[in-house]
Amino acid sequence: MIEGINAALGGLHRATQTLNETSKQLAQGDLNEEVIVNSKIAQRNAEAQIVTIEALSEVEETALDLLA
């Protein structure tokens, strides 16, 4: 389970980096379609990683409850 959380955290970190980069570009007035699309992809990727972390956390809690 830890490996899954670590993978999701890595994906979240990469998505955050991409969002930061594309946000800077957009703030500077670069309205290139590729920048906008990359920003949206990074947003969706971050959302997916968060859902993964939440799901893994729930599984971990359930497993701990079963062991108690």
Domain of residue 25, residue span: 2-67
Q: What is the pLDDT along the chain (68 residues), one digit of tens a residue?
A: 679 899 999 999 999 999 999 999 999 999 999 999 999 999 999 999 999 999 999 998 898 888 88
Number of domains within the chain: 1
Which residue matches tokens 């957009």? 26
Task: Give the pLDDT of residue 34.
Answer: 97
Task: Give the pLDDT of residue 5.
Answer: 92
Residue 8, number of CB atoms within 10 A of its CB: 19
Buried b (16+ CB within 10 A) or exposed e, 30-59: eeeeebeebbeebeebbeebeebbeebeee
